Chains A and B, each alone.
Chain A
Amino acid sequence: MTERTVTIASRTGLHARPARLFVEAAAALPVPVSVRLDGGKPVPANSILGVLSLGAAHGAAVTLAAEGPGAEEAVATLADLLSRDLDEA
């Protein structure tokens, strides 16, 4: 199991454009990745409803997790995305 905790960099939080880009990136990965808030229930990173349900605001810490071959790269790809501001303008 590979896990990494990152802080949401997008200034409006993980919704709309940032959420959409995140979900699309997760769907393109060869392994399933889950995402959860501290102590929260993990949701599939490739589910827009799942990701929106987190209600992850700017500065919130989320934990990405994946298993098996390619897990490390997959988690790193998504962690990198979340640590950038994905908002428009």
Chain B
Amino acid sequence: MLEPAAVRLDAVATGRDDAIRQCGEALLAVGAIDSSYVDSMIQRERSISTYVGEGVAIPHGTLDGKESVRRDALSFVRFPDGVDWDGNLVQVCIGIAAKGDGHIGILSSLARILMDPAQAKTLRETNDAEAVIELLAPVGEDEDE
């Protein structure tokens, strides 16, 4: 679900919306979405925050945005200096593209990984893209649609 081309470990953002846009662009770079999905991700965030704690946000599109999803995928964008996310400091943004009901299984497996503080710390701190990909490998794997 997470391809090397969708991993950015050293990004800088001017703010929340810019960070989301970069997450969306990483999904676009691997051909998982049409560009209109990016706007739908920002729209979702304005309606409800995707900040989940541990310095992590998981931006994804609205229900309407699903039409712009070509296949299930993740992007991983890290902001070592952090991004102000409505008062929270976000260092890791995991962008999600999901077709149909795929989001339930994706969010569930992603949440289980982030609930382990050591794994969340690795995601915030490692400089090894392979380690990120490996850690997030279970996401979406054990679920059928």
Binding site for B on A (CB under 8 A): 12-13, 15-17, 20, 47-57, 87-89
Contacts and interface: CB of A to CB of B under 8 A. Distances in A.
22 contacts: A12-B101, A13-B101, A15-B103, A15-B104, A15-B107, A16-B48, A16-B50, A17-B48, A47-B53, A48-B53, A49-B52, A49-B111, A49-B115, A50-B111, A52-B108, A53-B111, A53-B112, A53-B115, A55-B107, A55-B143, A88-B47, A89-B63
A40 B105 CA distance: 15
Contact of B49 (A20, A88, A89): A20
A52 B63 contact: no
B8 to A, nearest CB: 23
Interface of B: 44, 47-50, 52-54, 60, 62-63, 101, 103-105, 107-112, 114-115, 143
Contacts of A47: 53
The 10 closest A-B pairs by CB, nearest first: A55-B108, A52-B111, A53-B111, A49-B111, A17-B48, A53-B112, A49-B115, A52-B107, A13-B104, A57-B104
Given A20-B49, A49-B115, A88-B63, 5 more contacts: A16-B60, A17-B47, A52-B110, A52-B111, A88-B48
A47 B52 CA distance: 9
B52 A52 contact: yes
Q: Which of B53, B63, B103, B107 has the most A CB atoms < 10 Å from its CB? A: B107
A47 B44 CA distance: 20
Nearest to A13: B104
